[in-house]
Structure 1
Amino acid sequence: MIDESLIAKNDAQPPEASVLAINILVVVLILGGMAAQNLFYTAQPEERVVIKRFGAVIGLAGPGLHFKLPFGIDEVHKVATERVLKQEFGFRIEPGEEGEPSRVLTEGYQHEREMLTGDLNMIDVSWVVQYQIHDPVQYLHALREPEQTLRDSAEAVMRRRVGNSLASEVLTTGRADIALRARDELQGALDGYRSGIRVTAVELQAVVPPQRVRASFNEVNEARQERERMINEAITKKNQAIPQAIGEGKRTVAEAEAYAFERTRRAEGDVVRFQSILKEYLQAPDVTRKRLYLEVIRDVVPKAGKIIVVQEGESRPQSFLHLNEQGGSPK
């Protein structure tokens, strides 16, 4: 038989004990769920994760799903090390709304653009610094504000490079050299700070004179360009004229040498011919003299045209010679 006194005793027990047990079970389940939720974390492909345990760095993790101790024992800090970041100076790019292009804002950033060149000219310089985070531990712990340190260092370096250059160089041919030297100098400063940042590029966007003197600067720049154009044209003409003169000189010398050679050979031939005629003349003077006379007549008479033969004492021509006609016989 069941003891009725025990049943009565259990029925008399207060309901608060069961409610407390249920609450404890709920709290345990909630804490278990939170712990299970905080046991894992995911890193994106462009991220690296710095893992800290009780405030001390214990390691790095790459992309993927990872385990950590819950309840604040392990802390994770995700850093985008594979992403190319940039800082804008002298302007800002504001993303447009959906379907609209971005806008370039220049108002309010005049203090970043205005610089003084080495020849004491005012000039507006806008530029962009592109960089990556190559050491996430240094980036998180070496500097209190690494982004602001980057901006301050970049502005100081650019002002120093522009201040060591002439305004004409900054506006025209010296822009690439200024950007390259500024990148190297900025990287050296950030390495000295152990910032964990690698500068990939420094690009000058707009280099223009201030608005109030822009017209005068443009006139000076146009005059410089015209001077450079005229110098280039003169150099081109010189490069064309000198080889042409040298060629003409060589051609004249060659023609003179050929003419001298021809005259010399002709004179030598005439001498040989004269010597041969002289030899024949010495052997038979009358015959040689007559032959020479006939040869001269043969060469000269045909050029004289129509010849009329007139006998002495006659009043009219008796006959004439058609020397230009074939046969050349008188009629």
Structure 2
Amino acid sequence: MYGKKQNKQAQDADGTDARMTAIACFIKNNFQNLQERYQALTAQIGTKTALGYSGAALLLAWAASGIYIIDEGNRGVIKRFGAYQETTSPGPHWHLPFPIESASVVNVANQRFIEVGYSSASERGAGSILGESLMLTEDENIVDIKLAVQYQIKDARNYLFKLEDQLASLKQATQSAERAVIGKSRMDYVLTEGRSAIVAQIQEQIQKIMDSYDSGIIVTSVNLQDAQPPEQVQAAFEDAIKAREDKQRLINEAEAYANEIVPSARGGAARKIQEAQAYKENVIATATGDISRFNQLFDEYKKSPAVTRKRLLIETMESVLGDSNVVLLDSPQSNNMMYLPIDKMLGERSKNVDNTVSNSKPATINNKVDQIEPKFKRIERGRN
């Protein structure tokens, strides 16, 4: 892109030279025509009269040579005996002819550019200019930087009269601004996320320097063509970049794992807290009920201790022996204790239980009850 712009500037310069050559040829041809007409006029009216006419014609031609036209996008700078006189806008104008005054035309619309740190049109081809491209960073590393600075002329008078070499001054200002900004930045920042900010700072610094010179130049943009470590350390820098990427990847994976596990852990903790709270409330309620029941038993115990003790004993025995399949009968008339294998008896008679119950007569059942009841009464009297 910049090579095309440079070619366009060269073409504009070639076009200007061609126009000047055409004007010179036109003046030469007209001078020859005037010379021929002068000779013819001298032959007709005499030498003295011809000299008068010739002088008037030459004076008129000299005055007409001060006419000039400024194209759109250009400015004319008028100099009188080499000193600035005025600046003219686009359109036809006239100035005192040479050698009193002269006009210089300056294009203020074109975008011009300079290359700093590299050359795209050198004899050896495009490449870095190490004396311009190598910059020292804040962390004492070296960076190879290539910049392209675009600019316009905003004041034709200052552009022509304030600086002796405008392009050299602009390049020096660019290098100065570049060193100031890069020297305050770390290498990683320059090569990665800080490019846009660095370019903006460099452009601002260049403009300040050029304004201090009253250069008549406005910097429209600064383009960072390339920024990289020197070729000698390129491999080591790529390894460092890969390590940094691995570090960031591991950080991202750890954060993703944390985002996944932390909510689960918080949910588990909340569940355990709720379970503990429920267990706490259950234990408190059970203990409160036991206390209330014990207080009631204690009140009853104070009223009739013997009855309460016996009732507690019976309830405890029912609780302990309720699920037992072994029955022991203690008869006061005998020193032997009867053992009834209820589990075996139930196993053998389980098939006939329903039939026996259904076929038993009420009188037989009542007789059996009458036979068993005295035995339980005797057992109770023996215990008492």
TM range (shorter): 0.5 to 0.7
Inter-CA distance 313–143: structure 2 relative to 1 (3 Å threshold): closer
Once the two structures are TM-superposed, the CA of residue 28 in structure 1 deviates from its matched residue by: 5.8
Q: Which amino acid aligns with 1:66?
A: P
Q: Which of 55, 63, 66 lines up with 2:92 in the alignment?
A: 66
Name 2:245's counterpart in structure 1: 225
Uncovered stretches (5+) of structure 2, i.e. residues with no partner: 1-40, 326-337, 359-384
Inter-CA distance 255–317: structure 2 relative to 1 (3 Å threshold): closer
1:173-212 → structure 2 map (5 Å cutoff): 173-212=193-232
The answer (yes or no) to whether the contact 1:43–1:49 under 8 Å persists in 2 is no
Inter-CA distance 120–275: structure 2 relative to 1 (3 Å threshold): closer
1:1-331 → structure 2 map (5 Å cutoff): 16-18=43-45, 32=60, 38-44=66-72, 46-62=73-89, 64-72=90-98, 75-93=102-120, 105-107=125-127, 109-238=129-258, 241-242=261-262, 244-265=264-285
Report the count of equivalent residues.
Answer: 298
Identity between Structure 1 and Structure 2 (%) = 29
Name 1:6's counterpart in structure 2: none
Q: Which amino acid aligns with 1:178?
A: I
The answer (yes or no) to whether the contact 1:321–1:330 under 8 Å persists in 2 is no
Superposed CA offset, 1:230-278 (max 9, x none): 3444355445555554454344323432443455456656777898999
Q: Distance in 1 between matches of 2:58 and 2:286?
A: 126
Q: Distance in 1 between matches of 2:92 and 2:128?
A: 45
Q: Distance in 2 between matches of 1:51 and 1:266?
A: 111
Structure 1 window deviating more from structure 2 (85-94 vs 70-79): it is: 70-79
Q: Distance in 2 between matches of 1:279 and 1:136?
A: 118
The answer (yes or no) to whether the contact 2:143–2:229 under 8 Å persists in 1 is yes
Once the two structures are TM-superposed, the CA of residue 43 in structure 1 deviates from its matched residue by: 2.6
Superposed CA offset, 1:172-200 (max 9, x none): 34434433332232222222212122233
Once the two structures are TM-superposed, the CA of residue 151 in structure 1 deviates from its matched residue by: 0.5
Uncovered stretches (5+) of structure 1, i.e. residues with no partner: 1-13, 95-103
Q: Which amino acid aligns with 1:215?
A: A
So what's the TM-score if we normalise by structure 1? Answer: 0.63
Q: Distance in 2 between matches of 1:247 and 1:314?
A: 57
Once the two structures are TM-superposed, the CA of residue 320 in structure 1 deviates from its matched residue by: 5.5
Structure with the higher helix share, 1 or 2: 2
Helix, strand or coil: the match of 2:222? strand
Once the two structures are TM-superposed, the CA of residue 88 in structure 1 deviates from its matched residue by: 1.5
Once the two structures are TM-superposed, the CA of residue 86 in structure 1 deviates from its matched residue by: 2.2
The answer (yes or no) to whether the contact 1:41–1:67 under 8 Å persists in 2 is yes
Q: Tell me the C-alpha RMSD between the 2 structures.
A: 5.1
Structure 1 window deviating more from structure 2 (109-118 vs 17-26): it is: 17-26
Inter-CA distance 275–213: structure 2 relative to 1 (3 Å threshold): same
Once the two structures are TM-superposed, the CA of residue 15 in structure 1 deviates from its matched residue by: 6.4
Q: Distance in 1 between matches of 2:292 and 2:95?
A: 122
When Rg is computed on C-alpha atoms for both structures, the one with the higher figure is 2
The answer (yes or no) to whether the contact 2:77–2:88 under 8 Å persists in 1 is yes
Superposed CA offset, 1:183-232 (max 9, x none): 23222222221212223333322112222332222223322332333344
Inter-CA distance 185–279: structure 2 relative to 1 (3 Å threshold): same
Once the two structures are TM-superposed, the CA of residue 51 in structure 1 deviates from its matched residue by: 4.1
